[in-house]
Chain A
Amino acid sequence: MKDLKHLIYFENLLQEANNELVQKARADGKYAVGYTCYFMPEVLLDLPGCFSVRLRAPRCTSPDIATYYMSARVCHYGRSLFERALEGGYNFLDAQMATETCTVTCRFQEHLQQKKLDSVADMKVIQNENFFCEFIDVPFKKTENSYRHYKEQLKYHVLDKLHEHFGIDISDEAIMKAIEQHNEVCRLINEIGDYRKLDKPTITGYEFHVIQLVSLVCPKELILPYLRETAEEMKTREPDERWPFRCKVVLAGSENDDPEFTKLIESCGAEVVADRYCYGAVESRVPIVVKEGQDPLDAIARHYLDTSNCPRFMPQNIMRERKQRLADLVKEYKADGLIVASNKFCEYWSYERVIDTVVMKRDFGIPVCSIEKEYINSASGQLRTRFQAFVESVEIKKIQEGK
């Protein structure tokens, strides 16, 4: 396939959190607001006057100081973020909008926060006078009580704080404007991503992963022109005559912001056609619908709880529906199998992976490759062997089924 015009530029944007577009937006007087989890609605952080940056710690292989503070027995992602913060890599942030949605990222963000307690000295990690860190409480259910609570949290801890600290306009009109911009990003990402549903997809999983990530870490306004151009380019992109892969897979699991991981899977012959993991597009790029007469904040609160498939949700019907959702994705994207990957020390996904591995195969007949990985995949040799074996087993299954 012909190379995408902006792919190298996108790849470069992913090398640093404080990338070229982030710097440009800040130079234009906008406030940079960091976050880590889907449950912090990026759309609210993209209100006119500020922009969201979903935090990553690319190329962080040895988080030594963070390991002193958090020990080596917590997830590498949380430690890497903290290490990057301690190195000064997030000093551009004006605020961190935090969630206590998984223990380690919560602790990382608590370390950023100035708690002003007598009992423990604050670490002044972010060297930015404006900086503040605010937490929201995220419910574990999708009931009316949850929506109400979540909405209150977003109002009080996100909107009001952005207004208080930076004078951000938090009116319904401003929120509607942010939703509009957000939905355009979603539309473009989905348009680009839908080419993965073709029999011979005209975009690889790696390319899509890079595009999805830049949409999360760059100011929306500045990345949109590139996304529009890429979407146009995709319309005429032709697949290779010979499809270079041996099967298609859905990649599900915990936090994953490393396109090299997707590249590794694809180098073993499995094209990644859908990305149901933290930082993936399956959930985050569903457009937000505001019904006639509906309060936009209410629509946002419902949207983020309803679209999430996070294993953090505890109601029985939702725990079970998650498996159906995965099976539906496999069907929708015409995938031959499923890779479930959890980061080492991620407790939610350790359990979810166990049940997915059994139930998806047993009840839906979907081949499953279940792996545990690090944030930065230093153990690529072992993973390569696993993926190659999985691709072979999927191929054998296809031959047996006469496909």
Chain B
Amino acid sequence: MKKGKCCKCSLGRKLGRLIAKLLGLILLGNVALFIVFFFDLDGKLLFKVVEPLLKKHYDNMDRKDTLKAPYDMDKYPSYEYEV
């Protein structure tokens, strides 16, 4: 009987700690996200790091020379429908 009570207590404590930890983590996550939000860190990361890297990539991409695209005079028919 005594033993059982003790067991319940420690389970409750464990659960309490877990919930507290979880709440703490959530709070921490929220605070961290809020800092990112408030100081525009997402914008700064994208502007100063991601976009320059991507631009570099796009500027150096091999691209098809579209001026070499064929232009067949009679490839497509005249679309005529009775309505």
Q: Are A358 and B73 in contact (CB under 8 A)?
A: no
Pairs across A and B, CB under 8 Å, 27 listed: A142-B78, A143-B78, A143-B79, A143-B80, A143-B81, A144-B82, A145-B83, A315-B79, A316-B76, A316-B79, A317-B74, A317-B76, A317-B77, A318-B78, A320-B71, A320-B72, A320-B73, A320-B75, A320-B76, A321-B73, A323-B71, A323-B73, A324-B73, A355-B71, A358-B67, A359-B71, A363-B71
Which secondary structure dominates where chain B touches chain A?
A: loop
Extra contacts, 6 of them, besides A317-B78, A323-B73 (Cβ < 8 A), are A142-B78, A143-B79, A315-B78, A317-B74, A317-B77, A363-B71
Interface residues of B in 41-82 (CB under 8 A from A): 67, 71-82
The smallest beta-carbon distance between B55 and chain A, in angstroms, is 27
CA gap between A238 and B73 in the complex, in Å = 40
Q: Once A and B bind, how many residue pairs between them come within 8 Å at the CB atom?
A: 32
When A and B form their complex, which 5 residue pairs have the shortest distance between CB atoms, in order from nearest?
Answer: A324-B73, A316-B76, A317-B78, A320-B73, A359-B71
In the complex formed, the residue of B with least CB distance to A144 is: B80
Interface residues of A in 377-394 (CB under 8 A from B): none
**Across the interface, which residues of B come within 8 angstroms of A321, CB to CB?**
73
In the complex formed, the residue of A with least CB distance to B67 is: A358
Most buried by A among B71, B74, B79, B83: B71
The smallest beta-carbon distance between A395 and chain B, in angstroms, is 26
**Across the interface, which residues of A come within 8 angstroms of B80, CB to CB?**
143-144
In the complex formed, the residue of A with least CB distance to B82 is: A144
In the complex formed, the residue of A with least CB distance to B79 is: A315
The smallest beta-carbon distance between B29 and chain A, in angstroms, is 54
CA gap between A362 and B71 in the complex, in Å = 10
In the complex formed, the residue of A with least CB distance to B75 is: A320
In the complex formed, the residue of B with least CB distance to A325 is: B73
Tally of B interface residues using CB under 8 Å: 14
**Across the interface, which residues of A come within 8 angstroms of B79, CB to CB?**
143, 315-316
CA gap between A363 and B72 in the complex, in Å = 9
CA gap between A316 and B71 in the complex, in Å = 11
**Across the interface, which residues of A come within 8 angstroms of B77, CB to CB?**
317
CA gap between A324 and B82 in the complex, in Å = 28
The smallest beta-carbon distance between A240 and chain B, in angstroms, is 38
**Across the interface, which residues of A come within 8 angstroms of B72, CB to CB?**
320
The smallest beta-carbon distance between A399 and chain B, in angstroms, is 27
The smallest beta-carbon distance between B71 and chain A, in angstroms, is 5
In the complex formed, the residue of A with least CB distance to B71 is: A359
**Across the interface, which residues of B come within 8 angstroms of A316, CB to CB?**
76, 79
Q: Are B74 and A320 in contact (CB under 8 A)?
A: yes
In the complex formed, the residue of A with least CB distance to B72 is: A320
CA gap between A321 and B77 in the complex, in Å = 11
CA gap between A86 and B75 in the complex, in Å = 49
**Across the interface, which residues of A come within 8 angstroms of B75, CB to CB?**
320
**Across the interface, which residues of A come within 8 angstroms of B73, CB to CB?**
320-321, 323-324
CA gap between A142 and B82 in the complex, in Å = 14
In the complex formed, the residue of A with least CB distance to B76 is: A316
The smallest beta-carbon distance between A317 and chain B, in angstroms, is 5
